[in-house]
Amino acid sequence: MTTREARYEAAEVLKNAGDLPAAVAALEDVVAGDPDYALAHSALAAWCTRLERHEEAIRHARRVCELEPTDPFSFTALSVACMRGGRIAEAEEALARSRMLQAGH
């Protein structure tokens, strides 16, 4: 059985080879089997944004925030995904949350 990390690395190979849609599909399979794998959701948020699949990017970015609620970067990434998806108010809320976490509040 292949580990989730090995499957993640295989998806990165696809991405680095220029096949971003296949890389996203491979990571979707990873998170289907391991929905708590924050690193894979984080990559999916970024990669879906690059493919202009904004709703998917936002969904994955939100999941990262659920899994990593004290990580300011998770909320910064959510802010970027929301901004690119045209959800400005949500982007501002996520950025405010990131700043609050960075300040230690």
Question: How far is 40 from 43, CA to CA, in rounded Å?
Answer: 5
Residue 1 has a pLDDT of 61
CB 66 within 8 A of CB 37: no
Name all domains of the chain by residue range, CATH numbers in brackets. Answer: 4-103 (1.25.40.10)
Residue 86: strand, helix, or coil: coil
Q: In this predicted model, what pLDDT tens digit does every residue of 31-56 receive, in sequence order?
A: 999 999 999 999 999 999 999 999 99
Q: What does the block give as tokens for 21?
A: 């849609």
Query: Is residue 82 scored above 80 in pLDDT?
Result: yes
Q: In this predicted model, what pLDDT tens digit does every residue of 2-30 receive, in sequence order?
A: 899 999 999 999 999 999 999 999 999 99
pTM score: 0.92
Nearest to 62 by CA among 78, 86, 49: 78
DSSP 104: T
